[in-house]
Structure 1
Amino acid sequence: MSKTSESTAAPIALITGGSRGLGKSMALHLADRGVDVMLTYHTQEAEARDVAASIEAKGRKAAVLQLDVGKAGGFAAFAAEVKSVLGRVWRRERFDCLVNNAGSGGAAPFADTTEEQFDALLNVHVKATFFLSQQLLALIADGGRILNVSTGLTRYTVPGLSAYALMKGGIEVLTRYMAAELGPRGISVNVIAPGGIETDFGGGVMRDAELQKAVIAETSLGRIGVPDDIGGVVASLLSPETRWLTGQRIEVTGGYKL
């Protein structure tokens, strides 16, 4: 497909960790805005295919790919698979938006955090965001978007989450550097920082009634977050109207601990 015909086609987004939670909401909100979606899963293939079916029911195209973001050695092969899927499903060479969403939780006091725990978080969050984005650069269209996912924990502190927050802080710094270096290609790079969201992330900790009560007490908007609070913001940040926004951290916490 020529560059001209690609530019008039529906946008394509690639979302890592799109089988459930925030990634699922992002995918469905983007589909509602006319965006086709490639989504990855680690182990939840059936859930990922259900999301793809929902996207297709909205009249958009979808593709499902397996990816372990904790293993950077597999990123080159994954990029080759993305290229193949683009050609086979869309007859295109490039996609438009990359959302580095996949992640894992991990709570442990600073004094008790092991090197193994630290390295696992480093691989999934920092190395994956850095090296997966690097491998996919040739497949991202000029003028495209990259959106990284951080956490509100880089602004406020919750004891026991130092290693996790540290990794996300690294992603926020990386976002600014990516924005500066990819700007000449017209690629904008931003980072979203969600607060406590009621999902199964981290073992579903935010579903605990007592924890929710404590969080709500310090949240300006007076409730706990739900996945659609994030999915809607992501779809807005990847829309044409935000093309002049880059290198920015956007916190979506409902005003927690302001």
Structure 2
Amino acid sequence: MTDEILGDDTEAAARLIGYGFRPKHTPARDDSYQALIKRYQEDPDFAYLVKRCAAGMGLQVVGVSARSGMVHAALPGSVFETKMDQFARQVRMREHRDTERVLYGITHLAIAALAFPRREDLGDDGYVGRVAASEVTQYVRSVCDLLSERGTAADEEEDPPADAPELDRAWRVYLKRPEVAPTRTGRSGPAATRTIATRALTYLFDRGMLTQQGVDPERAERTYRTTHRYQLQVRELAATRAYEELLSLGVQPPVSDADGLRTLNPDTLYD
């Protein structure tokens, strides 16, 4: 392989990776994008080059298809990893960031579990999950209620030790928050759990993980539908300590399997 050919292939690999940073730009609207995806799927050498280039940039290729486009995620320590300060600005988190971080974390886990409640749903590429903010808050509160009951049964102290599991520390704060706290403008206040759920859903929508549906007339709230991009992310990148703690509690959303989400070996960068 000549240097010119290698350079062309590397440039093409970088272009495909670049498309992954434009989550709402679909292959159906771009012939060049489609051609790169086809090449990735049909040329193992090119696919390997893409994965190695992505790894060198601190990214993991999650999936590449005509439906989802290029889907990648930042590895820990990557320059592309979303930092807490950046996330705080995006969701307008102004104070108590350590506490809010945990609350937003379990909220995102709840969204994933509700969107794909059964193992076959998560594994079915044609499955589309639906979720709304009220469902998220109810599910998280049910988890917190169970943790509260277990804590009471064990006669635990009001304040958990600093090294307590994340969920154990979170439920105490979550249960003290109102679901809705109307302000003078009629909107729910920033500390309300419904606000946290709504902002988490909006965050995923802005990144092409969810699409917005119309307002449900019965619940008077907007419903979100999952995209294939989000399904790939949940399927491959659900390995967090908090989620493992959630599974260990045996609390599952309705119509769920105990193995609804599988975890990823963090040491595996390529197939």
| Short-chain TM bin | under 0.3
TM-score (norm 1): 0.21
Question: Is the strand fraction higher in 1 or 2?
Answer: 1
TM-score (norm 2): 0.20
